A and B are shown apart, each in its own frame.
Chain A
């Protein structure tokens, strides 16, 4: 089945630690995205990538880093510089261009601070 796989489902971070969230898709989509969702809030864009080896900052990129070495994979690292990392993290993918740029989401990773 085609889809987007995020792992782990739950992740705990100790102070000063970097953690990496995995996102893999087999939809053959060119674009991939990372969003952060806080309780009662909408989705805020962290980073996005429209092509391998290229990515752009979203609205809240500080304290995060990404890589796009393969079309299928777009891991997100939450660095120790992100002082308030507790949130629900969503990875998404889409085709690129045109009106029909629908986003499809993975199941999400809940990150908490110990």
Chain B
């Protein structure tokens, strides 16, 4: 069973701080990694995708991937109250027929 693990939180940070969200995965051959943001009662929204080792930046968001450690993270700089949501990590295991595996999500609260 391919697994994706996330700390369920809640993670609480003050406004303006850096929020760091972490995710580990079990399938060493995984190639594609995604972060989704889900507000309460709403559907997930894709915010970042990463495929190669290293960092990928998009505005206030940075995704970091370390395939050797089977670890992917999401950093949110200058956190805003509007960033308060549950963040889902999703990993596509190796193999053409494999579907995305989702973690259970980390709930982030940004305090004004």
Contact = CB atoms under 8 A, between A and B. Distances in A.
Interface of A: 33, 40-43, 45, 48, 58, 90, 97, 99-108
Which of B34, B45, B100, B103 has the most A CB atoms < 10 Å from its CB? B100
B99 A108 contact: no
Contacts, number: 45
15 contacts: A40-B8, A40-B104, A42-B88, A42-B103, A43-B102, A45-B99, A58-B99, A97-B96, A101-B32, A101-B92, A103-B44, A105-B43, A105-B44, A107-B42, A108-B42
A80 B103 CA distance: 29
Main secondary structure of the interface of A (DSSP, over half): loop
Interface residues of B, number: 22
Contact of B46 (A104, A106, A107): A104
A103 B96 contact: no
Contacts of B34: 102-103
Contact of A43 (B32, B44, B51): B44
Interface in B75-112: 88, 90, 92, 96, 99-100, 102-105
Interface of B: 4, 8, 31-32, 34, 42-46, 49, 51, 88, 90, 92, 96, 99-100, 102-105
B35 to A, nearest CB: 11
Which of A48, A102, A107 has the most B CB atoms < 10 Å from its CB? A102
A105 B44 CA distance: 7
B76 to A, nearest CB: 20
A99 B32 contact: yes
Contacts of B104: 40-42
A97 B46 CA distance: 18
Contacts of B92: 99, 101
Which of B43, B44, B96, B102 has the most A CB atoms < 10 Å from its CB? B43
